[in-house]
Each structure stands twice: as structure tokens, then as C-alpha cells.
Structure 1
Amino acid sequence: MDASGSFRRNTKSKNIDILALGSRCSIMFLFNNGFFSKPDIELNIKIKKSYNRILSVWGQTFFYSVVVGIVLHLIYKTSVIAVFKSFFPFTLNEYWFVTCYILLALFAPYIDLLINQLSSSNLKRLVIILLLLQILPLLLNKIINQLLLAITMYIIGVFIAKNSDSIKKLQMKQVLFAFVFFFLMEILSIFLLAKIGLDFNSLFHFTYFFGAIVIAVPLFILFIKLKPFSNIIINSISKSVFSIYLVTEQFNMRNIIWNKILNINEYEKSPWLPVYGIVVVFCIFCICILFDYLRRLIATGLWKIRFS
């Protein structure tokens, strides 16, 4: 969920540090795909699994885009053109992250094939080069290619997996210190950049890419160093988390939910913004999870009827 676009373009807001820190989960998700990729599996099997994953993601995205588009048209009288656009979520770049993920899934088997041919030192050099490519467009104030970002995060995830033995030797307090240090440095950089008059879009552009990466890496390592566990409730909820993104990032829903329903910009300078944000996120989380659970229940029932 990204509410930053609903705020006035005012870099003097006291809460701008909170608003800008929303892209870590996306980056960690891409890390996760690379980290759990299995290099020993045959290419044909990987390609088949990628296609299955793509079909699943495409189906969910199309469903939510269309349903949300129709509901908003009926309740808030959005235009017929907006409803038409909801039927083409990928062609019209409605969900940039999903589009990048699907493209990444297509390339992933071949990326793994390339990585398997690289030595540890060459893989490290590749990671450094890809990270540098995240900085250079930023300095030139250009929009970073989202697919390049996705591929970079995937390869970093593979790099972390291949060096897991060395990473496990790191103490938890060292990793935690790195996370807190980079987090505080980013907050400081946001205020400094705001003080020198950097415009709103450039400010958020900075925190959404390279700044987000250096924070997401130690945070991801913190999680993989934790003792593995399994919980049936968490596993059940995790199946529906994707729906939160699909609902809240639908191109018409973004404006309606933050500006017309929640009026989030009224709390921009309020000291209660963090509390309000937590309550809002929790409510949206619960509603979307319950709706998606119902969707999966109906889909499972229809599937059983069809093949019974």
C-alpha cells in the first residue's frame, strides 16, 4: 500500500520519513524469489513452474482489477473508460510491480542458468555493477527501469543464498546494527535533501530504490537468521496478502481510498499520523484478507464441482 501520492507535495511535513519507507517489502519479496531459487533443478522444470506461477499471478491480478473497477463504477460513478482500462491491467501498466514480477518469472530460469556459470567472485562483481546501475540514473534524475531493479534484487537474493554459510556467521546484533544505521541514515538524508529544496518526486525516488535496497538487505538477513517455524494461521493468511496490493493499487482505487474514503492528506502534518496509519493499515489488511479468503473458498468450490 502506497499512500504517498495522496499527500500534498510538501517536503516540510514532519512525517515524510514515515511516508517514504514503503518499498522494502517489495524488494525483500524479490530477494526471497532469488534466495529460494533452486539451481540444481532442470531448466525445463523451472520453465514449467515459472509459467504456472505467471498464470496464477495473472489470474489474481485480472480478477481484482476488474472487480474493483466495476465496484467503483457502481458506487463512485467512475467513468466507463476507467472500467474498460481495468480489463487491461498489464497492457496499460496498472500494476508495475506485478508486470515486473511476471517478466522476472519469465527470465528467472535463464538468469539461474547464467548465474550457475559464474564463480563466486564474478557473481559479486555482477551484483556490484547492477547496484551501480541503480545509482547512476538517480543522479541524472531519470526514472529507473523497474525490470532492471527486479532482476537486480533477484540476483542479490541468489548471492545471499550462495553465501549463506558466511552470512550465518554474522552475529544478530551486527545485522541489527546495520539495519538501524542505514535506516537512520536514510531518514537523515531525507530531511537534508528536503532542506536543500529537492522536489517531492525526486525525494521519494531516492528512497524507493538504492536507499531501500541498503535497508532491505540487513532486514532480509535478520529474517533468514531466525529459527524456521511453521504456523497454519500465518500460512493461511499469507496466501491472501497479495490481494491487499491488488486492491489498494488499482489505479482508480488509489485516489478514492486515500482521498475520498480515508482523507489521509488531512493527517499529513499531524503527530497522530503514525497511529492513524497503523489503524488504517490494520483495517484494510483485515477486509482484504477476508474478501480474498471468500474468493478462494468460492473458487475451490467451483473447481470441485467442475471436476466432480
Structure 2
Amino acid sequence: MLLITLHHFSLWAQGTRSDRLILQGKVGDAFKSLIYLPLGDIGVYIFVMITGFYLGGKVISNKKSIKKVLMIYAQLYFYNLLFLIVGLHYHLPLNNFPKLSDPLNPFNRIPNVMMSIFPIAFNHYWFVTAFVLLMLLTPYINQVLIKIDKKSMELLLAILIISNGLFPLLNNNVASETVGLGIVVTSYVVGAFIRRFIPKNPKMFLIGTLLLFTNTALIYLVAYYDIIVLKNRYIKIYTGLFALLAAAGLFLIFINFKPNYNFYINNIARHIFAVYLITENIFIINPLWKYFTFDQVTNLYLLNVYGFLSVVVIMIGACTLDILRSNIFRICHFQFKSVTNILEYK
């Protein structure tokens, strides 16, 4: 989540600065201002690999899958309605993204409102939409992953990685875009494959290190070329195959560490998904990140230090808010059970 939010700092808080620097011919400075941009999808893929690592080898019932989806949806809907109320109260723009408006579709005339009320149908957050669909599919995906042998799973992975990781980089989105359900399913299967077939040993640690640094370096080299030479900050190669391989490398490094349980880390982890839900809310994106543009800072190295610290503060604030939300849910659940028990007793 740290990598994802750092990516959003570069994308949303520094995007305008980088565009301005490119127009001024200061392309080197533009690259420095977007230094965290390639990290986002590495973080996304790791997030899903963790899910595949722990769930991919289990029998998941439809009931359990739907329960998981409802838990995600309840958290999602809480923030959607909260920020919709905030947005309407403070007269925030109802259409931050005009290109989403379709004159032939009246439901898209006010996408901020419709996306807040129907977040999955209108794809408010691409990752949440893809993750919810993944959770609904896990009972069926896992039936395959549990029974399949190593050779067949390697072939399955090859098909998924090529169609969902490589093809989108070639503008072939028939299986998935560079951000979509296909690449999320691929990451899930990678996590499950690592759990079943990859041993924990120094060799795998070295392979993971090689995958991480080689692919991250390649992504940054292409980003450098796109910004410096092509003068374009919308870099596609940081998504898809190379980010997937970098994420797999980082994952291999960490699974070779000695397992350790920490109550505080686990407790924070329960609320970390809220960082994404809050910072990427359609009403919050612009008002939030405009406070972290740091336009007065001209030293770009210092800018990125400020950006890193700001992201840490944002994550702490979002987790704190979600702890409050969790307590509200707990109180409401307790009250509902109490009323239900009283009615059943009568």
C-alpha cells in the first residue's frame, strides 16, 4: 500500500508539475518529479499475490466468498457515502473526469454521484472492482489450483502472463488491460504457485533479488526514455509483465525471511485497504493531493522526501479513520444483535 500511495503522489500531486516541466524543456526535472510513478502496480500485484499465497490452496465456498465480498463492499460503501455527503455539502465538482460523460447515457452525466452510489457497476476504483470479481471467482479458481500439477500450473501461468501481462503492453487488450481483472487473476495464481511449488532457500532469495532489481531497472529505463526523449509522462511499461516480475521478485525475497507475528502490524494491516479507498475516492482525489503539490519546493530531491513523509502521514490518518469506522460497525452490529435477541425472546 505504501508503493501504491507513493505512485498516487507522483500521479496526482506531481502530474501537473511534470507536465509544466516538460513544456519548459526541463525533462530531466520532470523525470525526477515522477520518481515514484513506476511503483504503483508493483504494489498492487504484491497485494494480490499475498491473497493468492494464503487463499489459493484452500477450498473456498460460495458462502464464504460472498461474505468476503460483502465485508469489502460495506467498507467501500461507508466511504463512498461519507464522501458523497461531504462532496455535496461543500459543492465539490460533480464531474472531475469529463471524459467519463457519455451524452448518450444519462447515467454518466454526473459520474461522481453515480460512481459513489454504484461503485462496482460504474468502476469507481478499478482495483476494488477487479478484486471483488476475483473474490467471487475464487471458489472456482481454487478448485483448479488445488488439483492441478506443477507442469500444468506452469503452462496455465504462461498463458495468463502472456495474455494479461505482455499483450496489453502491445495494445492488445483482448484478455485484460494493463490494469484489470486479468492481471489481478494472474497475480493471484502467481501467489498460489509460489506457495505450492517454490521452496524457501538462498537460491530463491537470489532469484527474487535478480527479478526485482532487473525488472525495476528496466521499468525505470523505459520511463526515463519516455519522459526524456518522447516527452510523455504516461508510461505503459510500468504495468503488466515487468511490474508483475518485479513484484514476484520482491515476494520471493520476503517469503524467505523467518515468519514472525506482530500484533500491532497485523492490527494495522486490517485497516490498510482504507488508504486506497480514501485517497482514491472520486470526491477526495483532487482536494487531497492539491495540499501535497509542494509547488514552493524547487529542490526535487527534497520534494520526494517530503512526498514520502506525506504519504506516511496520509496512511496513518486513513488507518486511524478506518479504526473509527470499524468501531462504528462493531457498535452497530452489537446493537443489531441486541435488538434481534430481544425480539426473539419476546
In which range does the TM-score fall when normalised by the shorter chain?
0.7 to 0.9
Does residue 151 (structure 1) correspond to residue 185 (structure 2)? The answer is yes
Does residue 236 (structure 1) correspond to residue 282 (structure 2)? The answer is no
Does residue 98 (structure 1) correspond to residue 116 (structure 2)? The answer is no
Which stretch of the first structure deviates more once superposed, 116-125 or 241-250?
116-125
Question: CA offset at residue 297 of structure 1?
Answer: 1.4
Q: How does 1:259-298 map to 2 (within 5 A)?
A: 259=290, 261-263=291-293, 270-298=300-328
- Number of residue pairs matched by the alignment: 301
Q: Which residue of 1 aligns with 2:99?
A: none
Compared CA separation, residues 85 and 193, structure 1 to 2 (3 A): closer
Letter paired with 2:84? G
Q: 1:23 aligns with which of 41, 46, 69?
A: 41
Compared CA separation, residues 162 and 265, structure 1 to 2 (3 A): farther
Question: CA offset at residue 302 of structure 1?
Answer: 2.3
- Determine if contact 2:219/2:237 at 8 Å carries over to the other structure: no
* Unaligned runs of at least 5 residues, structure 2: 96-109, 339-346
Letter paired with 1:105? M
Distance 1:170 1:104 in 2: 32
**1:200 aligned counterpart, secondary structure:** coil
Give the RMSD, CA atoms, in angstroms: 2.4
Question: CA offset at residue 66 of structure 1?
Answer: 1.2
- Determine if contact 2:56/2:145 at 8 Å carries over to the other structure: no
Question: CA offset at residue 299 of structure 1?
Answer: 1.7
Does residue 67 (structure 1) correspond to residue 82 (structure 2)? The answer is yes
Q: Deviations over 1:189-209 (max 9, x none)?
A: 2212334416332x1x22022
Distance 1:57 1:14 in 2: 36
**1:252 aligned counterpart, secondary structure:** coil
Distance 1:21 1:269 in 2: 21
Compared CA separation, residues 85 and 268, structure 1 to 2 (3 A): farther
**1:251 aligned counterpart, secondary structure:** coil
Q: Deviations over 1:86-132 (max 9, x none)?
A: 12211211111011011111111111112334321121111112111
**2:168 aligned counterpart, secondary structure:** helix
- Determine if contact 2:56/2:192 at 8 Å carries over to the other structure: no
Q: Which structure is richer in relative contact order (CA contacts within 8 A, separation 6 or more)?
A: 1
Which stretch of the first structure deviates more once superposed, 234-243 or 169-178?
169-178
- Determine if contact 2:80/2:117 at 8 Å carries over to the other structure: yes
Distance 1:28 1:209 in 2: 13
Question: CA offset at residue 262 of structure 1?
Answer: 2.6
Does residue 226 (structure 1) correspond to residue 260 (structure 2)? The answer is no
Percent identity, please.
Answer: 26
Does residue 185 (structure 1) correspond to residue 203 (structure 2)? The answer is no
- Determine if contact 2:49/2:190 at 8 Å carries over to the other structure: yes
Compared CA separation, residues 253 and 268, structure 1 to 2 (3 A): farther
- Determine if contact 2:133/2:181 at 8 Å carries over to the other structure: yes
Q: 1:197 aligns with which of 230, 243, 247?
A: 230
Letter paired with 1:66? L
Q: Which residue of 2 aligns with 1:32?
A: 50
Q: Which residue of 1 aligns with 2:198?
A: 164
Distance 1:38 1:18 in 2: 30
**2:75 aligned counterpart, secondary structure:** helix
- Determine if contact 2:53/2:192 at 8 Å carries over to the other structure: yes
Letter paired with 1:55? L
Distance 1:46 1:129 in 2: 26
Q: Which residue of 1 aligns with 2:208?
A: 175
Compared CA separation, residues 126 and 141, structure 1 to 2 (3 A): closer
Q: How does 1:82-121 map to 2 (within 5 A)?
A: 82-121=112-151
Question: CA offset at residue 5 of structure 1?
Answer: 4.0
Distance 2:208 2:261 in 1: 24
* Unaligned runs of at least 5 residues, structure 1: none
**1:89 aligned counterpart, secondary structure:** coil
- Determine if contact 2:115/2:123 at 8 Å carries over to the other structure: no
- Determine if contact 1:17/1:190 at 8 Å carries over to the other structure: no
Which stretch of the first structure deviates more once superposed, 78-87 or 289-298?
78-87
Distance 2:179 2:40 in 1: 18
**2:40 aligned counterpart, secondary structure:** coil
